[in-house]
C-alpha cells in the first residue's frame, strides 16, 4: 500500500525562496512516492491573523504559489483546512484526551510565556486559547487521514511529536484506532539564510520572495550581507551567506568554479550576486507567469481546492467514524 504523506502550509506572509528550498520543492518530490495530501492551514493562521482581507489574500497566494511551482492536483490532494469540517470535530475529541501539561511544554507557547515574563507582563498576555491548543488542531490534521509521514522543517518537529503522543495515548485507551505518524525532516536544506545571514524568515524581513517583481528581487540579492574581503583574498565558501544561497541555484560546473575562486582568491561578491539574480529570475520565470494568471482567476483556485476537499473528506470520514465508535458516539449516519 502506498504510504500517506501529509503537510500543512500556514498562509502567513508571501512565500519566499527559503520556503521553496526547505518545503515546497522537497514536498513536490515526495509526492511521487507517497499518496500526498497537502493543505493550506488557514485555521492555524487564525491564531495570529486577524485581518480578514489578508487571510483571504494569503490563502490564494499560497495556493497559487504551489500550483505555479508544479503541484499537480491530479497527483496531490490539495485542499484548504477550513473546507474539512471533520477536522474540527476531531480536534475536540483529541482535546479531551490531551493532557494540558503536554501543551504547556510546546516550544511555541513556552517561548511567548517566557518573553512575557522577561518583559514583566502577565504570563498569558496576548495568548489566545487557539494558540495554546494549536498542537491539537495540528494533531487532528495529521491523524484524521491515517498519515504515515509528515514532511516538515525542524521547527515543526515537536508538533509532530505531540501528535504522536496524542495518538499513542488515544490508542492505549481506546484500542488501535489511529496510525502513528512520523516527522520527515530534510537535513540538507534545514536552514536557508536570509539576506542578513539569519535564517530566512518573514519575521526578520530578510526574505527573497519567489515571485516578486525583478526590481525587488534584485534589491534583496544586493542586500545579501558578506564580509568585506577584497576579491583577491581567499575566502571560505562554507561560511558565506551569498555562497549558500548561490549553491542552491547554480549549475554544478559554475558552482565548482565559484568554489575554487573562493578558496584560491578571485571571487567577487558583486559578480556572484549578479549571477544569482539572473539564476533566480530565470528559474521562476515560467512559474511567475502561471502565478499571475492564477491569482487573477480565483474561481480556478477555488475549483481545485474544492475538488481536493472532496477527496480529502472521503479519506477522513471512515477514520472519524472509527474514532466516534471507539469513544462511544454511535453515529454511523454522519
Ligand atoms: N504548524 C505548521 C507550520 O506552522 C503548519 C501545519 C498545520 C502543519 N497543520 C499541519 C504541518 C499538519 C504539518 C502537518 O508550518
Q: Is 89 in the pocket of ligand 1 (CB under 6 A)?
A: no
Q: What is the mean pLDDT of residues 320-327?
A: 97
Q: What is the mean pLDDT of residues 101-127?
A: 96
4-192+297-327 has which CATH code?
Answer: 3.40.50.620
Residue 333 has pLDDT above 80, yes or no: no
Q: Is 150 in the pocket of ligand 1 (CB under 6 A)?
A: yes
Q: Is 5 in the pocket of ligand 1 (CB under 6 A)?
A: no
Residues linked to residue 6 through DSSP beta bridges, in sequence order? 37
User: What's the DSSP call for residue 21?
Assistant: I
**Do residues 229 and 262 make contact, with C-beta atoms less than 8 angstroms apart?**
no
| Count of other CB atoms within 10 angstroms of residue 283 | 15
Residue 87 has pLDDT above 80, yes or no: yes
pTM value is 0.93
Grid coordinates given for 24: 515546497
Residues linked to residue 16 through DSSP beta bridges, in sequence order? 209
The reported pLDDT for the residue numbered 190 is: 60
Residue range 170-220, pLDDT digits in tens: 999 999 999 999 999 987 666 789 999 999 998 899 999 999 999 999 999
- CA distances, 61 to each of 11, 55, 92 (Å): 8, 10, 30
Q: 286 alpha carbon to ligand 1 midpoint, in Å?
A: 28
- Distance, CA of 40 to CA of 49 (rounded, Å): 14
**Do residues 84 and 313 make contact, with C-beta atoms less than 8 angstroms apart?**
yes
Question: Domain locations in the chain?
Answer: 4-192+297-327, 212-283
Q: Is 143 in the pocket of ligand 1 (CB under 6 A)?
A: no
212-283 has which CATH code?
Answer: 1.10.240.10
Lowest mean pLDDT among 42-46, 160-164, 200-204, 259-263: 200-204
Question: What are φ and ψ of residue 37, in 5° steps?
Answer: -120, 115
**Do residues 45 and 10 make contact, with C-beta atoms less than 8 angstroms apart?**
yes
Residue range 21-43, pLDDT digits in tens: 989 999 999 999 999 999 999 99
The residue whose CA is least distant from atom 13 of ligand 1 is: 7
Query: Does 4-192+297-327 match 212-283 in CATH topology?
Result: no
Residue range 273-305, pLDDT digits in tens: 999 999 999 999 999 999 999 999 999 999 999
Dihedral angle at the C-alpha atoms of 199, 253, 277, 25, nearest 10 degrees? -50
The reported pLDDT for the residue numbered 125 is: 96
Amino acid at each position: 500500500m502506498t504510504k500517506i504523506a501529509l503537510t500543512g502550509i500556514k498562509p502567513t506572509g508571501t512565500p519566499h525562496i527559503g520556503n521553496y528550498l526547505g518545503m515546497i520543492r522537497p514536498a513536490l518530490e515526495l509526492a511521487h512516492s507517497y499518496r500526498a495530501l497537502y493543505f493550506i492551514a488557514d485555521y492555524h493562521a487564525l491564531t495570529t491573523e486577524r485581518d480578514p482581507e489578508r487571510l483571504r489574500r494569503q490563502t490564494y497566494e499560497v495556493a497559487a504559489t504551489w500550483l505555479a511551482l508544479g503541484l499537480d492536483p491530479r497527483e496531490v490532494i490539495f485542499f484548504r483546512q477550513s473546507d474539512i469540517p471533520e477536522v474540527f470535530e476531531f480536534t475536540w475529541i483529541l482535546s479531551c484526551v490531551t493532557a494540558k501539561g503536554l501543551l504547556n511544554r510546546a516550544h511555541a507557547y513556552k517561548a511567548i510565556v517566557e518573553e512575557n515574563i522577561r518583559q514583566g507582563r502577565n504570563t498569558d498576555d496576548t495568548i489566545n486559547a487557539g494558540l495554546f491548543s494549536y498542537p491539537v488542531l495540528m494533531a487532528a490534521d495529521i491523524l484524521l487521514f491515517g498519515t504515515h509521514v509528515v514532511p516538515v522543517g525542524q521547527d515543526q518537529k515537536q508538533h509532530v511529536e505531540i501528535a504522536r503522543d496524542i495518538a499513542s495515548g488515544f490508542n492505549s485507551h481506546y484500542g488501535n484506532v489511529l496510525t502513528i505518524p512520523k516527522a520527515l525532516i530534510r537535513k540538507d536544506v534545514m536552514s536557508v539564510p536570509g539576506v542578513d545571514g539569519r535564517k530566512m524568515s518573514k519575521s526578520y524581513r530578510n526574505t527573497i520572495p519567489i515571485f516578486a517583481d525583478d526590481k525587488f528581487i534584485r534589491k534583496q540579492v544586493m542586500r545579501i550581507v558578506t564580509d568585506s574581503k577584497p576579491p583577491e583574498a581567499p575566502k571560505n565558501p562554507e561560511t558565506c551567506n551569498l555562497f549558500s544561497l548561490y549553491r542552491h541555484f547554480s549549475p554544478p560546473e559554475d558552482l565548482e568554479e565559484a568554489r575554487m575562486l573562493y578558496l584560491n582568491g578571485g571571487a567577487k561578491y558583486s559578480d556572484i550576486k549578479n549571477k544569482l539574480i539572473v539564476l533566480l529570475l530565470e528559474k521562476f520565470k515560467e512559474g511567475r507567469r502561471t502565478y499571475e494568471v492564477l491569482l487573477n482567476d480565483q474561481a480556478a483556485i477555488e475549483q481545485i481546492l474544492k475538488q481536493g476537499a472532496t477527496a480529502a473528506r472521503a479519506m477522513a470520514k471512515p477514520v472519524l467514524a472509527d474514532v466516534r465508535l471507539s469513544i462511544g458516539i454511535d453515529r454511523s449516519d454522519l
